[in-house]
Amino acid sequence: MDILVVGGGGREHAVIKALSASPKIGKIYCAPGNGGISKYAECFPVKATDIDGMVSLAEKLRPDYVFVTPDDPLVMGMVDKLNEKGFRTFGPRANAAILEGSKVFSKSLMKKYGIPTAAYETFTDADKAIGYIRSQNSYPAVIKCDGLALGKGVIIARNEEEAINAVNSMLLDGKFGKSGSEIVIEEFMTGPEVTVLAFTDGKTVKPMISSMDHKRAYDGDEGLNTGGMGTIAPNPLYTKEKADECMEKIFKPTIEAMQKECRPFKGCLYFGLMLTPNGAKVVEYNCRFGDPEAQVVLPLLKTDLADIIEAIYEERLDSLNIEWYDEACACVVMASGGYPEKYQTGLEISGLDANGQLADNKAFVYHAGTKYENGKFVTAGGRVLGVTAKAGDLQSALDKAYSAVSEISFENAHYRKDIGKRALAK
């Protein structure tokens, strides 16, 4: 099976690493890829959001499957276009990717089908939104853009002034473009967060091992929200009892709801959950693997990923038994100093061998934002590397990952020192 993977971050590197372990996989192509990925796949300089460019590339390479990994091409309908041209794909079509592409859609779906989530109202008019906020007079208030906003479209306002500023930045100032032309204002929920990725062919849903992201930039959950500074799997807060509750109240009802709406979801569905005092609730859906959740979940997958991709495409996931290693995995993201705000790129990364890995192989180094230039790896993004290790227990996986991190350096490198701390304290 030759496969073209669309995207170029740490998550795509994790998908490619998992695919490369499969005896069924032939050639692996990636577009656009990155420095580290180029050691495992042939990379082509086509942007992940360039739908026509990607279709042309697929027509040139004729892969057996195209794996569309990031949110924006999925929401824009890349899978639909590829299917029209006769390509087999992994990832939802646009009418199902809308679960991530529009929070107004996903909230109304959950309301209609009784799937637990925060209470909410939607607005397009700033005065009405502000009137609602004043009438609720409850803080923190959660204000979200309808559309994709690179993870920045959610504002947790601590008081009325912050809430009004958030509403105005979205509805009046157009800070988030079209994504912010409609907003959701919702109830603030409390409790630990869990990510559950799930394979689904639109009919059957098979949850993967749970994980925990660390979204804030600094230790102790301080600083701005980022794409994710590190992950661990499994998430010890997600007990068997919670898993059963989520299966019955959230996972199955979501898949059934999408089926009833004639929007069957095929691919990986990301459930961002909060374990509130009133039960598990959905914080968000994403229409794809999480980044850096994929980096810790896929190394625990025992079943051949190529078999899963085929079973999903052919809608026979019910007959496939998916197995997992009974181990723990930890990923520590090394980011550029300044991320998620302004940062420098083009800095040489030291400590890596010719494959962008560690000579002693004590951990796997997923490349997120790197380039390979003149025989050297240099930084090329906010999140640069995801240093990942697997072991029999979480503490050992973290020890291995942090020990590997200490062998890698670049100017102003920043990483959190407390990945997994809360999970271990459980």
Q: Which residues bind ligand AMP (CB under 6 A)?
A: 118, 142, 144, 154, 156, 186-189, 193, 215, 272, 283-284
Of 84-92, 259-267, 289-297, 380-388, the window that binds ligand GLY (rule: CB under 6 A) is: 289-297
Residues of this chain, 210-229, that bind ligand GLY according to CB under 6 A: 213, 227-228
CA nearest 291: which of 143, 150, 410, 391?
150
* Count of beta carbons in the 10 Å neighbourhood of residue 173: 12
The residues, any chain, with a CB within 8 Å of residue 392's CB and separated by 6 or more, are: 327, 328
Instruction: Compare residues 297 and 378 and give the one whose CB is closer to ligand GLY.
Output: 297
286 touches ligand GLY by CB under 6 A? yes
Instruction: Compare residues 179 and 370 and give the one whose CB is closer to ligand AMP.
Output: 179
Distances (CA, A) of 299 to 18, 31, 95, 262, 281: 7, 22, 30, 33, 27
The burial class, CB within 10 Å (0-12 / 13-18 / 19+), for 85 is: exposed
CA distance 341 to 382: 8
Q: Which does 228 bind (CB under 5 to 8 A by kind): ligand GLY, ligand AMP, none?
A: ligand GLY
Size (the chain), residues? 426
CA distance 136 to 130: 10
Q: Which does 263 bind (CB under 5 to 8 A by kind): ligand GLY, ligand AMP, none?
A: none
Provide, rounded to whole angstroms, the least separation between the CB of residue 310 and ligand AMP: 31
By beta carbon distance, the residue nearest ligand AMP is 284
Of 12-20, 76-84, 164-172, 286-294, the window that binds ligand GLY (rule: CB under 6 A) is: 286-294
Residue from 72, 182, 291, 304 binding ligand GLY (CB under 6 A): 291
Both tokens of 328, joined, read 């723990």
The residues, any chain, with a CB within 8 Å of residue 136's CB and separated by 6 or more, are: none
12 touches ligand GLY by CB under 6 A? no
Strands (E), 86-137: 88-90, 120-123
Instruction: Compare residues 200 and 286 and give the one whose CB is closer to ligand GLY.
Output: 286
CA nearest 365: which of 40, 46, 43?
40
Instruction: Compare residues 172 and 224 and give the one whose CB is closer to ligand AMP.
Output: 224
Distances (CA, A) of 216 to 159, 227, 234, 410: 20, 8, 20, 21
Provide, rounded to whole angstroms, the least separation between the CB of residue 295 and ligand AMP: 18
Provide, rounded to whole angstroms, the least separation between the CB of residue 120 and ligand AMP: 8
CA distance 10 to 380: 12
Instruction: Compare residues 152 and 421 and give the one whose CB is closer to ligand AMP.
Output: 152
Residue with tokens 């300044």: 338
Q: Which does 142 bind (CB under 5 to 8 A by kind): ligand AMP, ligand GLY, none?
A: ligand AMP
Provide, rounded to whole angstroms, the least separation between the CB of residue 250 and ligand AMP: 15
Instruction: Compare residues 142 and 365 and give the one whose CB is closer to ligand AMP.
Output: 142
CA distance 334 to 311: 35
Both tokens of 283, joined, read 């914080």
Instruction: Compare residues 37 and 171 and give the one whose CB is closer to ligand GLY.
Output: 37
Provide, rounded to whole angstroms, the least separation between the CB of residue 281 and ligand AMP: 8
Q: Which does 186 bind (CB under 5 to 8 A by kind): ligand GLY, ligand AMP, none?
A: ligand AMP
The residues, any chain, with a CB within 8 Å of residue 251's CB and separated by 6 or more, are: 196, 198, 205, 207, 271
Provide, rounded to whole angstroms, the least separation between the CB of residue 81 and ligand AMP: 27
Provide, rounded to whole angstroms, the least separation between the CB of residue 294 and ligand AMP: 16
Instruction: Compare residues 372 and 415 and give the one whose CB is closer to ligand GLY.
Output: 415
Contacts with ligand GLY, residue ranges (CB under 6 A): 213, 227-228, 286, 290-291, 293
